[in-house]
Amino acid sequence: MRCPFCANDDTQVKDSRPTEDSSAIRRRRQCVSCGARFTTFERVQLREVTIVKSGDRREAFDRLKIEQSVALACRKRGVSQERIDQLISGIQRQVETAGEPEVASAQIGEMVMEGLKQLDSVAYIRFASVYRDFSEARDFEEFASTVADAAKE
Ligand SMILES: [Zn+2]
C-alpha cells in the first residue's frame, strides 16, 4: 500500500480489526519511509463501475484514488479520518448503486467537492484548485472569494 503522504510503496500494517458494524476491515498502517500513519479499509465492492475521464479515457472506479486526493486536500486541517471515510463511502455507494456502468470523472469530482464543502472550506478550495486545474492566480482568487462569501452566509 502506497503512503498517501510521501508516495513510498512500503508501508507496514500495525493493527487490523473489523469496523464496529463489521462491514469492513480496518487496518492501521505506518509508512516505513516517512513514519506517517494512516488507515485503510477492506470493503465489499457491489459492482464494477468504469470511470470516463477527459479525452474518453476509461479506467475502473478506484476508491483509493479519491482517498488520496481527499487526504491531500485535508492534510493538516484536523478533519477526522472517520468523516473523510464517511464522505468517500457515501460517494462510492452512490456510484455503485446508481445502476450506470459508466460514470464521468467530472461527476465524481463534483461529488467530492460537494462533500468537502461541508467538511472544511480550505480542503474544499485545495481540492477544487487541483480538480478544476486553475491555470491563473486570478481563477484561484475568484474561486476562493466565492467560497469565503458562501461561508459568511
Ligand atoms: Zn510516507
**Measuring CA to CA, how many Å separate 18 from each of 68, 70, 144?**
22, 23, 40
Q: What is the pLDDT of residue 135?
A: 58
pLDDT one-digit tens code per residue, 135-153: 566 666 777 777 777 766 6
pLDDT one-digit tens code per residue, 32-47: 999 999 999 887 776 7
Q: What is the pLDDT of residue 78?
A: 93
Q: Which stretches in the chain have pLDDT values below 50? A: none
Q: What is the pLDDT of residue 131?
A: 75
How far apart are the CA of 140 and the centre of ligand 1, in A?
A: 29
Alpha-carbon span 109 to 111, nearest angstrom: 5
Closest CA to 119 of 62, 63, 80, 75: 80
Alpha-carbon span 56 to 42, nearest angstrom: 30
Q: What is the pLDDT of residue 148?
A: 73
- Its pTM stands at 0.63
Q: What is the pLDDT of residue 74?
A: 95
How far apart are the CA of 151 and the centre of ligand 1, in A?
A: 33
How far apart are the CA of 38 and the centre of ligand 1, in A?
A: 10
Q: What is the pLDDT of residue 120?
A: 93
